[in-house]
């Protein structure tokens, strides 16, 4: 081991009460006394809350005072609190990788609440192991990277436009890439937006006008992103427009490619004339209300079924909106909505639902096991409450079909190495904690590309994704974690097993030498390649496989 000599190792142990979460179930004095007996330990301290400002300051004060070269905190779980304590060490001038944690709350006091004595014994064991491991820790350095303070937004719909506008206003150069000939996306195909009954073109033209005037934003229409290389802060993206390739450097990429509306070929006699989709109806309404006097709408066409199990969520609102517009145009028009469940969450949507009922829109539930049948001039449906089939006259049938993923979602997923779900929608890094980030740093998502969204949600997500991206762009330099994998070129057999499993594309194969090498910037130190390492050539940078309590494997 090239560790520092024993005399250099001065361990400070901070034992946390966590209020009564730990102190209520374990013998704290016994833990403090035990820690004092451990090798290399020069300072032991009990804190009421080590993670509080007071506790953090005590760590920061003790490091210079006792000349500590290792810090151990015995408290909760490193999965939540390790970064905080590492930060405290760093601020006090100690390399943050010389920090170790003993989990005596989540994995001790909370699971042994009725066994104080034996629980305390376990906590002693955990602290003993942490102190032993701390002694073997080595300094690691974070890698500093420069970055390009620019953004690429893929998709010029309402969410992409919102993201580009926000970043442009923050002062960052933005390339907004739109595949069609104009900005606006799906909004261009809509008639009116409730509750203001506003044509969506107002919204689109306003935003597009401001984007075109913003000197920071470059709008590329009839363009696609055909290639992307690099990593957070340092991507190189190829934008293809008018048959020409242009490469731009960018720090972040926002995926806002939106979705499209399912065309229900072969369902309910869809023909685009007498049987249409809600999107077709929007186009008809743009030219004035259709002459139809008996309109029947069918919900959940092609969604919430075996093929597409998800609820598209926005089709109920669309149906209710269009039913209101038909009724307002001519109160004599009969509008019936056949539905399974109505999804009208939120204050305004519920008001809209109520208003439609006041106007006389009729709602009939159907059972997906016996779906409605569209016949010439009528729709037959099994009425659940009457217990028999009823016939509803219909000279226009409107099918509410879901928003589905864009065709190019798969290609973009492959290009940016970000995942899509079984329906082709992009998958965020964490459902609750990282809803607008991908697991891959520097790539973000918003709008229909993620999941069918209302305009309001798409705008919020666009603004949110821009804010997330600005966390990267606002920095002068980026630092990567010091915990990364390393491949020993002498033992690497070049089997490429690790390359196949790395979710971050961090491992490259060099044909000339027949070995793999880890890109330390891209590596997250997840350890996923470990099962693949045929000859144990890949190992964590501080891997010391000789002592069970000194293995420092995860950060």
Partner 1 sequence: MSNEQFEPTIIGFLCNWCAYAGADLAGVSRLQYPPNLRTIRTLCSATVGPHQILKAFQKGADGVFVGG
In the complex, least distance from residue 375 CB atom to partner 1, rounded to whole angstroms: 54
Of 8, 48, 113, 514, the residue at the interface with partner 1 (CB under 8 A) is 113
Residue nearer to partner 1 on the CB measure, 65 or 79 = 79
Sheet containing 373-375: give its strands across.
Answer: 373-375, 378-383, 388-393
Candidates 147-155, 181-189, 335-343, 520-528; binding stretch for partner 1 (CB under 8 A) = 520-528
Of 90, 121, 189, 408, the residue at the interface with partner 1 (CB under 8 A) is 121
Candidates 55-63, 120-128, 184-192, 353-361; binding stretch for partner 1 (CB under 8 A) = 120-128
Burial of 490 (0-12, 13-18, 19+ CB in 10 A): exposed
Report whether 499 contacts 509 (CB < 8 A).
Answer: yes
Of 126, 214, 454, 491, the residue at the interface with partner 1 (CB under 8 A) is 126
In the complex, least distance from residue 544 CB atom to partner 1, rounded to whole angstroms: 11
**Using rule CB under 8 A, residue 118 touches partner 1:** yes
In the complex, least distance from residue 504 CB atom to partner 1, rounded to whole angstroms: 14
Residue nearer to partner 1 on the CB measure, 238 or 519 = 519
Residue nearer to partner 1 on the CB measure, 60 or 112 = 112
**Using rule CB under 8 A, residue 122 touches partner 1:** yes
Contacts to partner 1 from residues 521-550, by CB under 8 A: 525-528, 530-531, 536, 539-540, 543, 545-549
In the complex, least distance from residue 478 CB atom to partner 1, rounded to whole angstroms: 23
Q: What distance in Å separates the CA atoms of residue 537 and residue 389, rounded to the nearest whole number?
A: 70
**Using rule CB under 8 A, residue 105 touches partner 1:** yes
Contacts to partner 1 from residues 293-332, by CB under 8 A: none
- Secondary element (H or E) of residue 110: none
**Using rule CB under 8 A, residue 383 touches partner 1:** no
In the complex, least distance from residue 554 CB atom to partner 1, rounded to whole angstroms: 4
In the complex, least distance from residue 133 CB atom to partner 1, rounded to whole angstroms: 9
Distance between alpha carbon 537 and the CA centroid of its chain, in Å?
A: 32
For residue 20, give the 3-state DSSP assignment. coil
Of 49, 110, 363, 509, the residue at the interface with partner 1 (CB under 8 A) is 110
Question: What per-residue string of b and e applies to 219-250 under the rule 16 or more CB within 10 Å gives b?
Answer: bbeebbbeebebbbbbbebebbbeeeeeebbb
Report whether 156 contacts 219 (CB < 8 A).
Answer: yes
**Using rule CB under 8 A, residue 111 touches partner 1:** yes
**Using rule CB under 8 A, residue 480 touches partner 1:** no
Dihedrals φ, ψ of 125, to 5°? -60, -45
The position carrying tokens 């991908």 is: 438
In the complex, least distance from residue 29 CB atom to partner 1, rounded to whole angstroms: 18
Candidates 123-131, 259-267, 297-305, 490-498; binding stretch for partner 1 (CB under 8 A) = 123-131
Q: Kindly report the CA angle at 408 between 404 and 409, in degrees rounded to 5?
A: 60
- List beta partners, residue 401: none
Residue nearer to partner 1 on the CB measure, 110 or 504 = 110
In the complex, least distance from residue 550 CB atom to partner 1, rounded to whole angstroms: 10
In the complex, least distance from residue 521 CB atom to partner 1, rounded to whole angstroms: 19
Q: How many residues at the interface with partner 1, by CB under 8 A?
A: 39
Q: What distance in Å separates the CA atoms of residue 523 and residue 441, rounded to the nearest whole number?
A: 11
Report whether 379 contacts 296 (CB < 8 A).
Answer: yes
In the complex, least distance from residue 427 CB atom to partner 1, rounded to whole angstroms: 17
**Using rule CB under 8 A, residue 115 touches partner 1:** yes
433: Cβ–Cβ under 8 A, 6 or more apart, which residues? none
**Using rule CB under 8 A, residue 78 touches partner 1:** yes
Of 112, 150, 179, 382, the residue at the interface with partner 1 (CB under 8 A) is 112
In the complex, least distance from residue 119 CB atom to partner 1, rounded to whole angstroms: 5
What are the tokens at 34?
Answer: 């035990």
Q: What distance in Å separates the CA atoms of residue 322 and residue 316, rounded to the nearest whole number?
A: 10
Quick one: CA dihedral 440, 444, 449, 452, positive or negative? positive
- Secondary element (H or E) of residue 290: none
Question: What per-residue string of b and e applies to 104-129 under the rule 16 or more CB within 10 Å gives b?
Answer: bbbebbeebeeeeeebbbbbbebbbb
Q: What distance in Å separates the CA atoms of residue 478 and residue 465, rounded to the nearest whole number?
A: 19
Q: What distance in Å separates the CA atoms of residue 380 and residue 397, rounded to the nearest whole number?
A: 12
Q: What distance in Å separates the CA atoms of residue 208 and residue 183, rounded to the nearest whole number?
A: 7
Of 37, 77, 309, 508, the residue at the interface with partner 1 (CB under 8 A) is 77
The contact set with partner 1 (CB under 8 A) reads 77-79, 103, 105-108, 110-115, 118-119, 121-122, 125-126, 129, 525-528, 530-531, 536, 539-540, 543, 545-549, 551, 553-554
């Amino acid at each position: 081991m090239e560790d520092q000599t024993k005399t250099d190792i001065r361990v400070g142990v901070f034992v946390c009460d966590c209020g009564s979460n730990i102190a209520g179930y374990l013998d704290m004095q016994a833990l403090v006394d035990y820690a004092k007996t451990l090798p290399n330990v020069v300072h032991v301290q009990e804190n009421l809350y080590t993670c509080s400002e007071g506790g953090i300051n005590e760590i920061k004060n003790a490091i210079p005072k006792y000349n500590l070269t290792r810090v151990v905190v015995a408290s909760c779980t490193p999965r939540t609190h390790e970064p905080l304590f590492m930060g405290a060490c760093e601020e006090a001038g100690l390399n943050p990788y010389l920090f170790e944690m003993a989990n005596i709350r989540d994995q001790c006091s909370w699971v042994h609440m009725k066994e104080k004595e034996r629980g305390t014994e376990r906590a002693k064991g955990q602290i003993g192991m942490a102190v032993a491991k701390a002694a073997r820790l080595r300094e690691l350095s974070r890698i500093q990277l420069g970055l390009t303070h620019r953004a690429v937004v893929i998709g010029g719909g309402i969410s992409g436009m919102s993201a580009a506008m926000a970043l442009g206003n923050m002062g960052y150069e933005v390339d907004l890439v739109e595949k069609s000939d104009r900005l606006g996306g799906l909004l261009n195909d809509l008639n009116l937006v409730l509750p203001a009954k506003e044509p969506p073109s107002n919204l689109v033209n306003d935003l597009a006008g401001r984007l075109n005037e913003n000197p920071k934003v470059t709008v590329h229409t009839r363009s696609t992103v055909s290639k992307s290389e690099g990593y957070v802060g340092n991507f190189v993206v190829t934008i293809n427009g008018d048959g020409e390739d242009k490469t731009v450097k960018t720090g972040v990429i926002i995926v806002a490619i939106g979705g499209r509306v399912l065309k229900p070929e072969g369902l309910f006699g869809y023909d685009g004339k007498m049987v249409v989709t809600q999107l077709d109806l929007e186009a008809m309404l743009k030219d004035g209300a259709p002459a139809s006097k008996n309109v029947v709408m069918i919900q959940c066409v092609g969604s919430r079924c075996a093929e597409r199990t998800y609820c598209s969520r926005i089709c109920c609102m669309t149906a209710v909106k269009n039913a209101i517009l038909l009724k307002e145009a001519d109160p004599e028009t009969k509008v019936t909505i056949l539905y399974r469940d109505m999804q009208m969450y939120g204050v305004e949507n519920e008001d809209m639902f109520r208003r439609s009922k006041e106007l006389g829109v009729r709602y009939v539930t159907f059972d997906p096991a016996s779906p409605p049948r569209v016949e010439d001039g009528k729709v037959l449906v099994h009425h659940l409450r009457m217990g028999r089939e009823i016939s509803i006259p219909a000279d226009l049938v409107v099918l509410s079909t879901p928003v589905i993923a864009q065709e190019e979602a798969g290609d973009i997923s492959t290009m940016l190495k970000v995942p899509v779900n079984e329906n082709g929608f992009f998958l965020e890094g964490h459902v609750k904690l990282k809803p607008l980030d991908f697991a891959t740093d520097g790539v973000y998502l918003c709008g229909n590309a993620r999941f069918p969204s209302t305009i309001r949600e798409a705008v919020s997500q666009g603004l949110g994704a821009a804010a997330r991206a600005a966390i990267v762009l606002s920095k002068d330099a980026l630092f990567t974690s010091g915990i990364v994998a390393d491949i020993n070129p002498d033992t690497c057999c070049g089997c490429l097993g690790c390359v196949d499993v790395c979710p971050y594309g961090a491992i490259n194969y060099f044909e000339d030498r027949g070995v793999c090498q880890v890109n330390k910037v891209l590596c997250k130190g997840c350890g996923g390649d470990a099962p693949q390492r045929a000859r144990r050539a890949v190992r964590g940078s501080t891997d010391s496989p000789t002592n069970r309590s000194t293995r420092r494997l995860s950060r």
